[in-house]
Amino acid sequence: MTALARLSAPAVQHQAQPHTDGDDTLDVDGAAKYLGISAKWIYHNHAAMPCVNIGCGRKPRLRFRRRDLDVWLQQHTVNQ
């Protein structure tokens, strides 16, 4: 009965809402692409970056907010 009800129910479409406030989070690969550096560099230097460390283990699960990365980039840009 439950299966029949699920099959006859209309499909629900979920649309991702774009984040415009800079709060969207990135994983290591996304942050590396956003910054134009390697993921390996991020793993080696994440302690000096604004990130959230989720869990523990050999490879930490790191997440970065774009807004925080933008501020970090401004603070670490060398003016010539």
pLDDT in tens, 9-54: 555 444 444 444 556 889 999 999 999 999 999 989 988 899 888 8
Indicate if the pLDDT at residue 60 is higher than 70. no
61 compared with 55, residue with greater pLDDT: 61
Please tell me which residue, 78 or 9, carries the higher pLDDT value.
78
Burial of 64 (0-12, 13-18, 19+ CB in 10 A): buried
pLDDT digits (tens, 9 = 90+) for 21-30: 556 889 999 9
Q: What is the pTM of this model?
A: 0.62
